[in-house]
Structure formats: C-alpha cells, structure tokens
Structure 1
Amino acid sequence: MLPLVGPTTERGEPLAANPVRRTVLPGGLRVVTERVAGVRSASVGIWVGVGSRDEQPSVAGAAHFLEHLLFKGTPTHSALEIAESVDAVGGELNAFTAKEHTCFYAHVLDEDLALAVDMVSDVVLRGTCTREDVEIERGVVLEEIAMRDDDPEDLLQDVFGTALFGDHPLGRPIIGSVESVEAMTRAQLHSFHRRRYTPERMVVAAAGNVDHDDVVRLVRAAFAGHLDRAVDPEPPRTGVARLPGRPGLSVLERDSEQAHVILGMRSIDRHDPQRWALSVLNAAVGGGMSSRLFQQVREERGLAYSVYSGLESHADAGVFSVYAGCQPENLGEVLTVVEEVLGDVAADGLTEAEVTRGKGQLRGTLVLGLEDSASRMSRLGRSELSFGAHLDVDQTLARIDTVTAEQVRAVAATVLRRPRGVAVVGPYAHARDLPAPVRDAVRAGGPRSGRAGAA
C-alpha cells in the first residue's frame, strides 16, 4: 500500500506540502480545507454521516424529507431571506441525500465565504421544522416522487435496489415511498434531526480560494453553543452487511417505447483494497465508447443507444451493474450479449491494452472532474466521512497506475461470477412476459461463458 505522502522529485524530495488541512474542534466536529490556486470561488459543505440506510422502515425517506425541510427557515432567517441572501451574491445553496450521508453546501465568490458558512450552518443546526412547513414540503417531496416515477431510467435505479438488496436499508429508495412520506409526522422528523445531526457526525469541508485558519474561525462562530461536549469524531463506517439471500428479479410495468434494464451483482465495499482494480475493470467493461459493452451492444449490433456499467461503493457492500435501454423486442438479445461479455471477462480478464485504456480513462475523469472548487469540496467531505484520511490527486493517480492486468483479472473472477439481480421497467405486466434470457440471468446466478455473438 502506498503511504499517504505528497508528490516527490526523482530524488524523493517533496515537491510541495499537501494542500489539505484538517482540524478537529471540541464536540468532534472536523474542518477540512483545500486551497485551490488560481480560483476566485469558494465552496463549503456540511457533511452529515446520516443517510437513508439509517432510517427505520416506518420513516423511510426521513433523511431526504429533512434535507428539504431544513431550508424552510430558522429562528433568525425565513426561507425567503435564506434564498435572497444567496441570490444577492450570485451563489448557490443546495443539498442532497445519499445512502450513508447528507450534504448541505454553498458555492460563492471567495469574498462571500463568511455568508456561505453562516447560512449553511444555520440551516443544518437550527432549521425549525414547523408543522406548517412539514405539510408544505410534504407536497413537494410527493411531487418529486411523481417526477421520478415519470422517468423510467430514474425509477429503474430504485427498482434495481430492491432486486439486489431486498428489504435491507441499502435496497430502499432514498426518497422513501408515497406511503411513508404521507405518514411521517413533524415529531418524527424533528426527533431525527435532533438525535442524529450532532457535531461528531459532521464534517465541514471547504475548497477554493480559502484559508484554513479563517474557515476554522468562521465555523467556530457559526457552531457556537454546539461544541460544548468533549467527544471524539465518529469513526468511518465499517463492518459486514447482513444482507438477505440471493438477489432477485423485479419488474415494473410502464407503457414506454423502450425497455429499461439493469443487471448487476453485489460487489466489494469501499474499504476493500481491490477497489482500485475494480474501478479499472468498470471503466474498460462499460465506461466509455471503446468499452466492451458499448462496442458489442451498440456499435456492432445496434441493439441500444445507451449501455454502460457502473459502481456503487458503501461501507460494507458494493454494486457492479450494467444498464441498457432498448426496443422491447431486443431485450432478450441485449441480455444475452451482456452476459456473454461479463462471462468472457470473468474467465479471461482484460487485455493489457484494455487495462491501459481503463486506467487512462480514470486518470482523465478524476483530474478533469476536479477543476472547480465544488468538486474539490465534495471530494474532501466524502473522503473524511468514508476513510478519515485524504489522498491528494497525485497520490490517487499513483494508486491507479499501480493496478495490473492480473489484479483486474482476479477481481473480475470474484465479482462477475456472483449471483445476479435484474430489474426491468417497460411494457411487461409479469415476470413471465419477459424474454427467457432475462429470467435465466437471475436463475443461473452467474454468467454464461463463451464469446459474445456465439450461438
């Protein structure tokens, strides 16, 4: 394993200090910053280590509902005042919820950093959650669920979660259900906020034209009265997920022109040292126009416009999946080709050329994706919550460069042979209406060997 050190010269001398700085305040609150040269922006986010997997079934969707609700007002700012103050400086104030965390963030000019820290902190710490606001925002969340239901590809992701993880919290939609959102009370949401949004579970991440000491000073002031307890930061999540039995098949009927399908399997967690090789595997198998899936499904056969693979990484589980959208009459052939591609890679791994292209794609995507302060801030917050440590860009590129074809072959042989979960959204009333290759993929529990295109 490579040490967490900065880039060096050929003689091993350090080129520059790691620009990431970290301070732990009383109460366990972590402040992590990265100064980005040459920018006039600043991004700040409060990352809370609480997400949809932390909910009981009776309050499914509470973390997402609360994310909406906290913007409705605080004791010192109404919702309109919050919006006006950020709009007046041309900034952005928003939030998002994931399986294992929630993030509230602002993106502003560097000179408006104090305003951003104040507004984000006020919302997170002191959102009032009044009964009137709960009812108003309940309607907004229900509209968001309806919007998801009108987008087959978006809806498919939630259907696939159920197919892969069943009723485990990782398998439930982040947004909740119509039933759970309609039933949730103000008392439940207020309790969820007060019990779980505590400083030891939080990270304040800031990036851009920022000074670490200035950010710490602003955060201390914004969190006044909330840092009185002498506690350590909550460590990153670890453990082994107690998942239900085998993945299954989920079908949701929609009168759509296309059939939308995801096939995937449970993968490795984010702490697994094989995650670097898995990322290279994903890039080469379904991450670009030269990938095997794109070439076999779209370029050589014209079976789909969109086909790609993807990864999800949680503390104790992971997902490798393949998506395709196609004409309903082509669904069986698409699944056959996908399974043959996965079977070949599981048996033989990737060529050296594919590994090289996969590594190059990861390198370019990483560097180009970190060209703005908001992306840098997100990377800081995720790294602190997930690992409690930070690799700079050069260290991450070095990790990617060390991946070998043999390591990719090993992780492919492990992951791609695991039992499949399959989700389909399209003009199918029952599983029996699906083409046989779709049902067979779940029953077989692993890929069929053989070259793509074989009889």
Structure 2
Amino acid sequence: MAGLSVDWRMARLPNGLRLITIARPETPTVAVRVYVRAGSRYDVPLNGVTDHSSSVEGPDGVWPTREPDTLERGPLRPISLLLGLAHFTEHFLFKGTRSHDQRDLYGAVERLGGVLDAGTTKEYVTLYAVTQGDGLATAVDVLAEILAEPALREEDFWQEKLVVLEEIRRAQDQQSVIFDLFAETIWQRHPLRYPIRGTLEGLHDLEPASVIPFYRQRYVAGNALVAVGGDIEHAEVRRLVEQSFASLHAGPEQAPLPVEEPPLDEPRTAHLDKEVQLTSLLIGVPAVSMKHEDRAAIKVIERVLGMGGSARLYQHLREEARLVYSINTVTAHYEDAGYFAVHTVCDPQNLGAVQQAILDEWDKLRREGVSADELEAAKSNYAGTQARRAETNLGVASIFGVQGLLHRVETFDEAVARIEAVTRDDVLRVAREYLSLDRYVAVTVGRQAQT
C-alpha cells in the first residue's frame, strides 16, 4: 500500500541494548518507547522454585526475606505465590529514582507538553514518553533514569502495594476478567496463563525482597530495546541513548524456555458467576505464535468472521438472529503460542444458542472457505488497519519495538504483502486445521441461564 514505507534502522549498542529508530520527517512529536522482557509470564519460574536467600541487599539497605507460601493452581504442582511480580515491579519503578522524585520525572516531560507512562503485558514491560520534537534528549534521559537507577525504597513498596491491590480488586468487577479466565483455561502449564495484574493472594504475600532479584535478573541491557520515532537522525539518537543508558545493568537476553503444554483433546469450559444483567462468552482454540506462517491466513479469518459490522458473525448473530448485543473476533500471537477466539455479550438465556451459532459459522468456514470478495475485503481491511497504526510516532515505535524485541522487524509494506499473498485455499486449510468443533475452550462471566 502506497505511503507506508518508512526509513528505519536497528543497532546493537556496546552494552547489548538494542536500538531502533524510525525517521518520520516533518512530524511534530517524538516518541521514545523502551521494552523489557519482564512481563507476567516471568512471574513464576517454570519449575515452580524460586531462589530465595535469607536476605537481599536493596538500594537502601539489607531487606530480610522469608520462604514464600505456595498455592495450588489447577493441575499444576504448588508454585511460589509471586503472581503479579512483573506488574508490581513496573509500578515500583515509577516511585522515583536515586536522583529525582516522581514529581520531578513527570514534570520534566509534562512541561514539554508530553506524556510519561508505562504498562505491563504478558511478555514485556514498556515505558514510554511522547514530547514535542525538541524534547528527545529529555525523554531519553528520563526513561533511562527510571529504568537503570530506580530508588526501589522499602517504604514506597508498601504504599504502592495498596495501590496495586485496589487495582486488582477493581478489575474483578469488570467484564475484562473473562480474558484472564480464558488464558487460565486454555493453557494448563504455559506461563501465559498468569494474569497480568497478578492475584490478590500473590500481592498479599509479595514482599520487598522479592522485587530486587526480579529487577536485577530481568532489567538488563540484553533484555531491553529502545524504539524512537519522529523527525530524527539515527546517529544523534544513538549517541543520546548510548550515553543515557550506559548505566543500565549488563546482562544477556533471556528468551522464554520451551513449554510442553498438554494438548486440548476435548471441550474445556469455565464459568465465573457475577450478578450482572448480561453474560460474556469467550470461545476459542489454540492457534499460532507470531513467528508462524499461518498467522496471515488467521488474520483473514479474523476479519471475515468478526471484525466490524459487515462480518459474518455480526450480521448473522446480531442483525439477523438478534441473539447478541456485541460480537467480535480476538486473536493473540505471542512469541511461542497463540489463540483465536470469539467474544460476545448476550442474555444468559441465549448462551446455548449463541455458542452453537458460533460453532456453526466455524463449520461453514471449514466446509466452504471464503468467497473471492470476502478475501479481497479482508486484505483491504488489513491494509487500512496498518495505515491507521502508522499515523502516530508512538504507534510506529510500538509496532517496531515489539517486533524487534520478540521476533524480527516486519515493515508495514512487508506485513501487507504477507496478507496479500493469502489465497482462498490457504484460508480453507487453516480453518480446517485450527477451528476445531470438538476441541475448544468456552468460558463465561456473568449469570448462568435459569433452568
């Protein structure tokens, strides 16, 4: 698609930190985004054992540790109650540095009309700043200081722990908990099953001394990447980043270890009862990682079935049958796993009919595939989506940053070309391989149908 080509460069700095610059001339802002392999999948080691010494040295002295409690989670053996460690560490980093308090850090960016923020995902933590174009040096300095020189004061720990506990409590009242329930159900052993925010049990048992080893292990140069988008010169950005991030702890990249996930050999269900008027259903199947070639055909299926008001599921279940209030497809492609799912909200009494109608649409796709017109519409939709994602410097830095951290950079033109290469036969083959009618996960949140 014309207009999506970008001038980008990637470099490995002397301390192992990766840098990606995306030059976008005549844009008024600059976005700096830092990524670290420190998401919730790293909360708990795969073997269920955490190395705890009797004490650990923090920035403000020696903090005592204790043996963690354990929690049985489904078919897993007991694991350390550290669920939420990654998310909490992200919060903890923003409580100030050894040189500046929190207000100073925010103020340095905000006086330039900018924004400073962070977030945790299942695979990584990201910190970012967006400012006017001449704020590049400030944005880089602030992010580097937060990442490499956090204060990590024990008194701040207890204050922030209350904040995160309340955040988890509030989240339990939201329909979004269905995605946590789905992840916990579709994966039995994979650490992607862990909720990003953590659990109340995990946060209650989390102590200051747990954070320091996690920070020292995960927040190292080899695990991190800086992506910068704007009206910039690569050489100047490299000079600034190399100078500001020189104090980031050295250490190698730590990719996730392989996981042997038990196969899904029958329907797997779960329900979370809530006294709400409507019930949410999320039904899906294991799919592919971000590195798999079938990802392109799945993107087509995602659009044909459930992206937008013209999609099959929306038209058939909402407009024609009047069974649902909303419905859409959801795909997740992680570094080593993925899923395809349909999310819908309906009256509890309609749950059975809705689930069967979704499976019927899967069956139709498995039997008939897609029409030539549907295929072309899906490809055009994907190209338009890519164009929208490329509208801002933060969006571009985000896309290139995640790809550079977890896999490889795929330009917008390359991504569109990959989708353009999908054929109707590809869609039919992929639908038959992944859209199983007897091996799926279906989870619900809300009230169950009255019998």
Q: Normalised by the size of structure 1, how large is the TM-score?
A: 0.87
Unaligned runs of 5+ in 1: 1-6, 9-14, 436-455
Aligned residue in 1 for 2:96: 73
Matched, 1:143 2:163: no
The equivalent residue for 2:190 is: 168
Superposed CA offset, 1:222-281 (max 9, x none): 122347x5x7x63866x7531134362111110000011100111111111111111111
1:386 paired to 2:406: yes
Give SS of 2:247's match: coil
CA displacement, residues 32-76 of structure 1 (integer Å, 9 cap, x when unaligned): 000113311000011002211112142111111111110001011
Match of 1:203 among 217, 221, 225: 225
SS in 1 for 2:213: helix
Indicate the residue corresponding to 1:243 in structure 2.
261
Aligned equivalents of 1:180 and 1:386: distance in 2?
27
Match of 2:378 among 344, 358, 374: 358
1:182 and 2:204 matched:
yes
Number of corresponding residues: 413
Matching residue of 1:194: 216
- SS of the residue corresponding to residue 221 of structure 1 reads helix
**Structure 1 counterpart of 2:416, from 397, 407, 427:** 397
Amino acid at match of 2:259: A
State the 1:166 CA deviation.
2.9
1:42 is aligned to 30
What CA deviation, in whole Å up to 9, does each residue of 1:309-353 have, x standing for no partner?
110011221110101101111111111111100111122221111
**What is the root-mean-square deviation of aligned Cα atoms in Å?**
2.1
**Residue 408 (1) aligns with residue 430 (2):** no
Mapping of residues 300-315 of structure 1, within 5 Å? 300-315=320-335
Equivalent-residue separation in structure 1 for 2:154 and 2:254 (angstroms)? 34
Please state whether the residue corresponding to 2:21 is helix, strand or coil: strand
SS in structure 1 at match of 2:94: helix
1:270 and 1:396 mapped to 2: Cα distance?
Answer: 12
Query: Residue 3 of structure 1 aligns with which residue?
Result: none
One-letter amino acid matched to 2:113: G
- Counterpart of 1:449 in structure 2 is none
1:89–1:112 CA contact under 8 A, matched in 2: yes
Match of 2:84 among 45, 61, 77: 61
1:335 to 355, 360, 375: 355
* Partner AA of 1:96 in structure 2: G
- Taking the aligned partners of 1:367 and 1:421, their CA distance within structure 2 comes to 33
Q: What is the CA-CA distance between 1:139 and the residue it aligns to?
A: 1.0
Contact 1:207 / 1:373 at 8 angstroms: preserved in 2?
yes
1:372 corresponds to which residue? 392
Structure 1 vs Structure 2: percent identity of aligned residues? 31
Deviations 1:375-400 (Å, cap 9, x if unpaired)? 0000111110122x322222222122
Q: Residue 150 of structure 1: CA displacement? A: 1.4
Aligned 8 A contact 1:349 1:413 in 2: no
Kindly state the Cα deviation for residue 18 of structure 1 after the two structures are TM-superposed.
Answer: 5.5
Q: Is the 8 A contact 1:162 1:250 kept in 2?
A: no
In the other structure, the counterpart of 2:76 is: none
Q: Which runs of 5+ in 2 are unaligned?
A: 45-79
CA–CA distance in structure 1, aligned partners of residues 435 and 388 of structure 2: 29
- Residue by residue over 1:108-158, the C-alpha shift from the partner in whole angstroms, topping out at 9 and shown as x without a partner, is 111001110011111111112111111111111111112211112x11111
CA distance in 1: counterparts of 2:189 and 2:418, whole angstroms: 35
Please tell me the residue identity of whatever aligns with 1:124.
L
1:240 touches 1:317 (CA, 8 Å); kept in 2?
no
| Larger deviation, residues 410-419 vs 293-302 | 410-419
Q: Tell me, in whole angstroms, the C-alpha distance in 2 between the residues paired with 1:329 and 1:225.
A: 59
SS in 2 for 1:268: coil
SS at match of 2:119: strand
In 2 relative to 1, CA 16–85 (structure 1 residues): closer, same or farther, beyond 3 Å?
closer
* 2:27 aligned with 1:27: no
